[in-house]
Chains A and B, each alone.
Chain A
Amino acid sequence: MGNFFHAVGDIATNTSAYRNAIIVAVVLLFAASGELIAEKAGTINISLEAMMLAGAFSAAIGVDITHSVWIGLVCACVAGFLVAAVQANMSHRLPADQFVVGLVLNVLVLGLVGFLTSSIKPKSAVVRRVKIPLLSRPPLLGPALFDQPWVLYLVYPLIPLVWFLIYRTRWGLEVRAVGEDPNASDVSGLHVNKLRRQTIYLTGLLAGLGGGYFLFARAGKFEDSLIGGRGYIAIAAVIFGGWTLKGAIAGCVTFGLIGSFVLTIPSLGYQGIDPAFLAIAPNVVTIVAMAVFAKRVRQPGALARPFIRGLK
């Protein structure tokens, strides 16, 4: 145990640990901010994982063909959107169960990506670090937040944008209404399933973008284990954060820190801490948090309840 606290101490003063933490936190944040909107509308998208993986894969393909990171990111968005379109239309236009569809999509996309990478091997792409002057000056947190591959900076405008969208637009109000009480929203003239589909499309765009970002920020080389369950952790972050944007950010940063432990501890020369425990930490923390707070936190009233007009 003493060993563990030494490791924590070393990591707390290690610049690259902070950097890793932010890189992981940001990929979670891309996905979680989309998922937050979708859950506000009362849907849960297990297919978040598939959206991210599809995004990362098509970003790799896009950049391989065009040598432009921007086009890679656009490809990522498109791929995420396509997965989202299947999820949205099957579970909120047709009455297929959303968990079933999400799960099948995860299996399908993982299989498809694995199959395609075995025959197409996209070359790796490196995105250079951009240092933002002044802001990157303070030790530890400065370089972690403002001396990173430039694709990471896309998340900074995104967060206020998502907040504005949810809490300060008519569309956001409608989305929240649909998530709280679909029957009442329906009676007052909102198209419940259409709004839900729109939130899922948005989730697909953001999660795809997140997948693309992670490809460029992490290694540049695509493997089918790149996302490796981070979609599930992003969903966990939204729940952990109690369905608020602030909470989701806190969840992403917490899980990012834990993720960074996994990467940094071996490089600092600690052997005693088994990586398995760090890998399961986000899941355990989320389950415990849910068990402790689930009765107190207000979740969207109709979360995970499909809406079919005329049925309760």
Chain B
Amino acid sequence: MSDVGEHIVTEPEEDEVASAALQRSRFGITGEVIALYAICVFVALAIAAICVAATGGSWVNVYTAILDGSIRKPGRWGLTLGVSAPILLVALGTVVNGRAGLVNIGQEGQLVMGSCFASYVAVRLGGPGPMVLIIAMLCGIVGGAIWAGIAGALRYYRNVPEVLSTLLMGTVAQNLMGWGLRKPWLLLAPAAGRANRNQVSEPLNSHTRIPRVTWFGNEFPISVLVALVLCIGVWVVLDRSVIGFRLRMLGRNPKTAQRSGVAERRYGIGAMLVSGAFAGLAGGIMLAGGDFGNYQLVANFGAGIGFAGLLAALVARQRVIVLLFVAFLFGCMRTGTGFLTATGVSGRVSDVVQGLLVLSLLLPPAILYVRERRRALSATSTRV
């Protein structure tokens, strides 16, 4: 280190000036980035506040309620963690296919498929609880992977754009679950003890549920810890391994990747399978974790978690560590609605806040990119 420092010091004067200018501009750029993000987030929150105020609600109350419901009140951040875990898992999968240059926007459907597979197996399989649970989770993974894998295979064998096939198959999965919940031999719980013909599946046994732990008065399922471990695992594989490097190469330029020996089909379909597997696992832990309903499938079980995970991955711009914070933020948006009813403002306001936030977080990188380009262009034009 010191060696390098001495070298710079002994450089001629002009270079010193130049490096100082460079440093200043780098500071300036960091400041610019922070300012841009701050402005965009502020504008988004302000617009949401205006919406609330325009419909006769109090925006102070709304933001206080979201904060209270997500973190501040006792026992709430445990719930938020439980809700954030599936969002994080879905987002991790999205990062994997994003690195490979594929766009998967059907996570909601893959998640639903995963939860259906997990529910079907967990209810029928006998045996020791933990084993059944693990097998059910594996089945969830398989379910999600199949659903995404179809899209991946169609992309590489039949040239079907994966954006559209995943999008269309999302709706298909949700309708198939609705159908399964009308058939007793698939998912519908036996009618005994139910007055009306609700579309519900049989709840999981108490010993096939994910165990819950209590830390500092906050209770959450241990799947949260599993999600964290997986997060680190994905970071290591994507950013520190040959596989991750090959995926990135494939995403940046498929031709170069092919020339340097990356099997496009194998890695592309593999990325889709992994992406779907994460969404399927998210569906499984939603079912067995207990923060979403009563350990059973209901119509509209996905509850937009798949979309939330997708948006989280997009906001984090495929950086795994940033993802942790974004997923937690999105979890807060969901659990925060629990306290909204007291303010008299519809819970849908959290969707508005979330949508505006995401939109505003998309802006700064785009603006920065454009400015960077302008700067570079003007630099070249003065030189020539």
Contact = CB atoms under 8 A, between A and B. Distances in A.
B178 A283 contact: no
Contacts, number: 140
A229 interface: yes
B168 A236 contact: yes
Contact of A114 (B154, B348, B369): B348
Contacts of A292: 158
B160 A291 contact: yes
Interface string B239-283: 000000000000000000000000000000000000000000000
B362 A96 contact: yes
A287 interface: yes
A130 interface: no
A127 interface: no
A112 B354 CA distance: 10
Interface in A274-288: 274, 276-277, 279-280, 283-284, 286-287
Q: Is the interface of A mostly helix, strand, loop or mixed?
A: helix
Interface in B112-166: 154, 158-161, 163-165
A304 interface: yes
A115 B346 contact: yes
Question: What band does the interface of chain B fall in when counting residues whose beta carbon is under 8 Å from A?
Answer: 35 or more
A152 interface: no
A239 interface: yes
Given A107-B358, A235-B164, A95 B175 contact: no
A163 interface: no
Given A95-B369, A304-B163, A280 B172 contact: yes
Contacts of B12: none
A141 interface: no
A46 interface: yes
A280 B175 contact: yes
Contact of A104 (B103, B355, B367): B355
Contacts of B171: 229, 232, 279-280, 283
24 contacts: A44-B163, A86-B359, A96-B365, A99-B105, A101-B359, A101-B362, A105-B359, A108-B352, A108-B355, A111-B350, A115-B51, A115-B346, A232-B167, A274-B182, A276-B175, A280-B175, A287-B160, A287-B165, A287-B168, A290-B164, A291-B158, A291-B160, A292-B158, A304-B161
Q: State the 8 A-B residue pairs at the shortest beta-carbon distance, nearest first.
A: A111-B351, A108-B355, A94-B366, A118-B346, A276-B179, A115-B348, A119-B55, A283-B168
Interface of A: 44, 46, 86, 90, 94-97, 99-101, 103-105, 107-112, 114-116, 118-120, 229, 232, 235-236, 239, 274, 276-277, 279-280, 283-284, 286-287, 290-292, 294-295, 303-304
